[in-house]
Every structure is written in structure tokens, then in C-alpha cells.
Structure 1
Amino acid sequence: MRDSYNGFLALACLGLFSQWAIMIMNGSLRLMLLTAWTGIFPDGIPLREEWTRIWIVDLALRVLVAFFGAILNGVESNEFGPYLCLVDLITTIVVFSMMFLIEDRRDRGKGALRHPSCWQMMLYFFGAASIVPVYMRLYLKNRLSPRLEVPHNQARALPFTALWCSVLSVPLLLPVALGASVSRIQVGIVVWLFSPATVGPFQDLLSTLMSKSNDINSSTNEAARPIAIAYGIVGVLSAVVHFCVVVFTFVSSKLRWSDIYWPIHGVRSGPSLMTDGALIFIQSGYLFLSICVLALGYYVLKTENLSATHTLLGSLHGWRALLAHTALIAVFGPGAGLALLLGRKEITAASTIAARKGN
């Protein structure tokens, strides 16, 4: 298992290079910083400069608004590839958001997996390719064996929080699809950036209400079901979005699969440089999310003795499970793969804990 820790650290370093170093080398990061400093996009679109009246915070927000604005502004010029990639990436990140929340509630206030909103905002601010591998390393180290349960009142609130997490992407993705003005699109970006701060209070409010109105002395297996349902909600959303994007790509005469998902391509000069640089950034993030989910699936299946057994039949069973996991990611995306993997693991772990307790 120690090799897996080192592997995810190496993946995080490679992800950091694939996102930030590439942006530095192709010049898109410099152009993005220049846009944030001057308040004008390369194509002349104005960038709102004041958000909080705290200069350093506003500068950071301007950089992020410039980044996402470079992708969203392309829709007006009929460049749908970057937008479709962003939609798929964001709905995939929703599954990781649920993972962050559930693992925090499993052992709240302790360990490196606490503060889910901080993890999610780091993912937004620094990129998925470097943050998610670090989180996966900590997850394997602290959560792979079934030892800790999510409190029952917290578990029962999770399906509703999953719905809440699903709609938090609306301020980012919907305005541009509805043809909103540039200023409203930029406001939506900032609202979305700070939306993770609402997830924890929303979950706690619902769990408090449910602890007062319901009997929380349910069995371990019953407590695991709402967690699996929560993963199912965000997993289905991610799967539907990914499948629709892929289908649209194949039926479109102007788009190719590689235009949306493959980060190895050149950048154009001029105003399109920032859009191309941002696209490579999110494509790398999506690619590394897929790799992380594949790797996590391998270690979870190995721990459950599906791929680590020494018998021929067990070995074939394990490889079939791993192949099915890979096929699921290929068809429905890493978000669906992660949701199914963790939901299934939750039920399996609950059965193990219940057997130990005798309930």
C-alpha cells in the first residue's frame, strides 16, 4: 500500500506540471494575469474589478473570473468545445464534493480529511489534477478499511445535500446557456466559487432537523442506504451529462472527441490564447480525475479481495470487476465510476461493521 501513497504523490506532481507549468509555457497564464490586472479581456470584453473591496481578494477573484470567463465567453463565438468540457468536469467534481463531505462527517473534526469546503475550494482555485491525487492518497491511508460510520442523522440528510450540491453548479453553467450578459456571467462565476461554503451548514441544518423528527437508532445497514442514495444522485447526474456530451460530440460535424477531452494540442495566438490555455487546464484536470478514479477502484477492489486473491476463480472475478469499472468510466465518465465505487463500498463496509456488531 505504501507504493500507492507514493504513486498518488507522483500523480499530484505530474498534475501540477500538466496544469500550471503548461499554462506558463504557452503564455496563457501571463495573459490571464494581465487580464486580471487591466480589467479587460484580450477581445475587449470588460472584466469586473471590484468584488469584496479587499484588494488582494479581488485580484484573486479577477484571475479566476478571467480563467472561467475565457471558457464561457467562447460560447458567443460558437466555440462549444471548452464549455462542454467544463460542464462535464463540473458535474464530475460534484461527486467528489459529496466524497469530501461524507468523509468529513465520518470522523468529523479529526484527521486530514476534515473541512470539506476547504478541499473543494482548493480544487476550484488550484486545479483538480494536483488536489485530488493528494486527497486520494489521504483517503487510502485513513479510510480504506471499514472502521468508522457516518452518524445516522448525518447520513439521512445526505441525499438532500446531494441535490443541493447538484444545483450549486447552476450559477456557473446556466447563465451563458441562456444568453445572459457578461456581467451576470461573471457574477455567476463568483457565486459558484464560494458556493462550497454553503454545503456544510446546509447538511448540518438538515441533520439537526432529522435528529429531532426521526429515530436515529437505526441499524448500520439502514444508515448506509442514504449514503449510497446520495452517491447515486450525483453519479447519475454526472453519467447523464458525460454521456450527452460524448453523444453530442460524435453527432456534431464541428467537434471531435479529442477537441473536448484530450489536453495535448497547441494553442492559437491572439485573443484565443487564453481560451486554449484554460481548455488545456480543465482537460488535464478531467484526465487526472479519471486516472485517480481508476487507481482508487483498483485499490478498493484489491482490499475487498476481488483482485488480490490467489485462486484462479477469484483472480478472474477481480479482473472482471476492474474491467467493468474501467468500462463504466469510459462510457459514463469518472464521476459515475467514483459514485458507484463508493456507494458499493459503503454498503459492503456497513455489512462488515454490522456483522461485527451483530445487528
Structure 2
Amino acid sequence: MGVFAIKLVTASLLLASSYTAFQLMFKSAPITEILFPTMATAKQNGFFPEGMPLRNAYIGSQAFDSQMTTLVGFFSQLADGKDEASRRFSLWFLAQLPPITVFMLWEAGKGQSMLTKIPTILGILYQLLTGGVVFPIYFAIYLFTVSGRRAAYPPDALPRARALPLAIILGYFVPSYALFMRPANATLLDQMQIIAAVWQAFPLWVSLVYNVASKLDASIFGTPAKIDAVTERKASRWLKGTYISLGLLAGLTHITIFLPSLAAENEALSFLEMFVPYTLRSYLSLSTMTDSPIPAYRLVVRLFFQYDWLAITSAALIFFTGATLVNRSNVRSELSFVGWVACMTLVGVLGGPGASIAWAAWMLEKSALDIERPKTA
């Protein structure tokens, strides 16, 4: 199969993934019949179904506050301690996302395509339309505008690479920690909704810290007029270290949350309840929605994010497989494609999708660096 055919097939699968995610998360019966009506009623009455107040003011803009009221209000309930399965699932899910964020930031720094220069806008769209809908479109366009070309590093590649860990820590993990890694019921609901609103803007915080830190690094240590092979290798080592660290963190949550759920005696914290959308269980010959003291709308909030993680993971695996095949047509790899698939699968089983994506992203970067590499490099 030629390069164009690989790109076309991969992009088609990605767009199909985006469409499917949109249908599941915005058009399926549980969402339209339970979640959306509950959101509308809560917004109108000013209270959650259990009688807890719903915050309706954030920055004073009616359009913004209207959007945030329901989005933040219901998202904050994932972490309020009343549904431990959803809280644990959210902790696991949040640890799987940073490798994709790093990939987008790094590509924006290289600026090989107009699309790759706007990670903040894409991040905002992700928060509004979900990653399952937005990321496949980003990946599809990336395939046709960047894949198969050498990863040309800009002069400020090293400062940008050194800024990546700080951007992820301060822009993503700190607000996530504030929202989820606290004792249950230790924060008032109103305060939690404010924290959730701050978390929703994490693409802005990540981008802000990344740009400020990289520019500060460049002003202190300077940047060459043209990057040389030594500086390029230093930048790639920082990038590799970032991916490894995020992969290990994703693996830690996978080992402490996902794997124990496979043998959990408490049905409410089982793999089936935490990770498998109840709407898909009948197709897998599994039991459907079980009797639960948790209100139905809370289960559908969890369902919404279960759909999201499945869509994001599927899109990432499709993309990195296709992009790797494209790059392999331009450079010989020491690892066969079958070996690549085996390694990615093994990393995913042991460390979760976040670790698998981090490994695949680094391998893609490594192969892109090898495309038409000068002999003296």
C-alpha cells in the first residue's frame, strides 16, 4: 500500500471515529433522554437533583456563565465523593491524556503546519466538544500536512523541550490534583464548582506556562541562530524524558486503579462498572445496567466520559499506527512493524493507553528525526 493510500485509509478511520464519538456522546438515548433534560432542569431550578445548589455565575458574562453552569456543575460531581467509581475512573482517565497534550504542544513548537500551531484553540474545542470528537480530526489533518516529513527542529527547540514538564505539571496536574486528589467531601460544593471551572481551562494554563517558561529559558540561556545536531539531540532527550515520565505516571494509575478493578469484590468498583459503558454490555454478552443507589444521571455522566476515553484511545491508536507506517516508508526501522504493534500492545496492557500513547509518540518522533537525516548528524 502506498503512502497516500495509508494516509487516506487512516484519515477515513479517524473521521469515522470522530463521527461515532459525536453520535454516542451527544445523540445517544441515555444522553438525550436522561443527562440533557436533567441538566436543563437543574439549570432552570438552580439545584442538582439531590437538592444541592448549582452555581450559576462565574465571570459575569451571560453566554459564558450559561455554558459553564451545566458543564462545570455536572463535571464537578465526578469528584464530589458520592460516586467513588466515577472518581476513580476520572483519576485514571486524567492520567492518560497528558501524552497527547505534549504531542500537540511539541508539534506546535515545530510549526510545520498551521493546524499544529493552534494547540490552545484545539484544547478549548476539546473541552467544549470532547477529545473523542476533536482529536481524530486533528490527527487526520496532521497526517496529510506533517506525517512523512522530517521533524525539523526550530532554533528554540531546546527551551521548548525543557518547558514541557513544567507546563504539564502547573497547567494540568495542579488543577487536576485540586479537583480530584483531596479527601472526599473536604471541599464545599460551591468551591468545588469553582475549582472545576478552573480545571476546564487547563488548555489555557498549559499553553500559558509553556510559552512563558520556554521564552524565559531562551532569554536566560539563549538560542542559536540555527540549531545544530548536538542541541537537537539534547532537545530530543528532554522530549523522550517527558514522554517516559508521563508514561510511567499513566502506568501507575493503571496499576493502582485499572488492574485492581479486574478482581474487585465490590461490584460497584469492578472493571465492568468503572470502565465498560453499560450501553455496550449487551453487545459483549455482559450484564447490563445494574441496580444502583446512585442516581441515573450520575451514571450517565460517567457513561459520557467512558465514551470519551474509548474514542480518544481508539483515535490515538489508529493515528499512531498510520503515521508510523507513513514514516516507515521513508526510513528503515530497527523494529519491524509486527514488533512495533507487539510492543505497543504490551505497553498498553501493562501501563494503560496513556503509557502506550507516550511510547508510540516518542517512537514516531524518533522515526521522523531519522527521515533524510544528514550523514554527519
1:235 to 247, 255, 269: 247
| Preserved contact between residue 71 and residue 83 of structure 1 (Cα < 8 Å) | yes
Contact map agreement 1:162 1:233 (CA 8 A) in 2: no
Q: Deviations over 1:45-88 (max 9, x none)?
A: 11111111111211110111232133223x23xx3111111112
Query: How many Å separate the matches in 1 of 2:293 and 2:65?
Result: 26
**Secondary structure of the equivalent of 1:216?**
coil
* Aligned residues of 1:91 and 1:335 also touching (Cα < 8 A): yes
2:78 to 55, 59, 71: 71
- RMSD after superposition: 2.7
Could you say which residue in structure 2 is the equivalent of 1:45?
52
What residue in structure 2 maps to residue 119 of structure 1?
A: 122
**Structure 1 pair 270–88 and aligned structure 2 pair: CA distance change class (3 A):** closer
Distance 2:146 2:95 in 1: 24
Residue 103 (structure 1) aligned with residue 107 (structure 2): yes
| Equivalence map 1:251-330=2 (5 Å) | 251-254=263-266, 255-265=269-279, 266=289, 272-305=295-328, 317-330=336-349
Query: Gapped runs of 5+ residues in structure 1?
Result: none
Does the CA-based 8 Å contact 2:78-2:87 persist in structure 1? yes
- Distance in 1, matches of 2:335 and 2:246, equals 30
Aligned twin of 1:15? 21
Change over 3 Å in CA distance of 1:283–1:82 after alignment to 2: same
When the two structures are superposed, what TM-score results if normalisation uses the length of structure 1?
Answer: 0.88
Q: Which residue of 1 aligns with 2:62?
A: 55
Is the partner of 1:40 in helix, strand or coil? Answer: coil
* AA in 1 matched with 2:273: D
1:132 aligns to 2:135 (yes or no): yes
Alignment correspondent of 1:156 = 162
What is the CA–CA distance in structure 1 between the aligned matches of 2:336 and 2:215, rounded to whole Å?
42
SS in 1 for 2:142: helix
Residue of structure 1 in register with 2:235 after alignment: 223
CA distance in 2, matches of 1:330, 1:356: 37
Inter-CA distance 143–166: structure 2 relative to 1 (3 Å threshold):
farther
Residue deviations 1:204-251, cap 9 Å, x none? 222222223325345222221112222222222222112211133235
Identity %: 18
Contact 1:325 1:337 in 2 (8 A): yes
The equivalent position to 1:341 in structure 2, one of 355, 360, 367, is: 360
Identify which of 180, 188, 200 aligns with 1:193. Answer: 200
Tell me the secondary structure at the aligned position of residue 302 of structure 1.
helix
Contact between 1:159 and 1:230, CA under 8 Å: does it hold in 2? yes
Deviates more, 1:231-240 or 1:157-166: 157-166
Q: Quick check: 2:248–2:351 contact (8 Å CA) kept in 1?
A: no
Q: Is the 8 A contact 1:232 1:340 kept in 2?
A: yes
Partners of 2:201 and 2:183 in 1: CA distance: 19
Any stretches of 5+ residues in structure 2 without a counterpart? 1-6, 280-288
Letter in 2 for 1:61: M
Distance 1:210 1:183 in 2: 38
| Alpha-carbon distance in structure 1 between the residues aligned to 2:97 and 2:131 | 8
Q: Normalising by structure 2, report the TM-score.
A: 0.84
Match of 1:2 in 2: 8
Cα separation, partners in 2 of 1:276 and 1:149, compared to 1, 3 Å? same
Q: Deviations over 1:14-52 (max 9, x none)?
A: 000111112444421111222123220001111111111
CA offset digits 1:277-298 (Å, max 9, x no partner): 1111100111112212221232
Query: Cα deviations across residues 138-195 of structure 1 (Å, max 9, x unaligned)?
Result: 2222232243325323223223323333333223213464622212211110111123
The structure-2 alpha-carbon separation of the partners of 1:187 and 1:316, relative to structure 1 and needing over 3 Å to count, comes to: closer
Task: Name the amino acid aligned to 2:376.
Answer: G
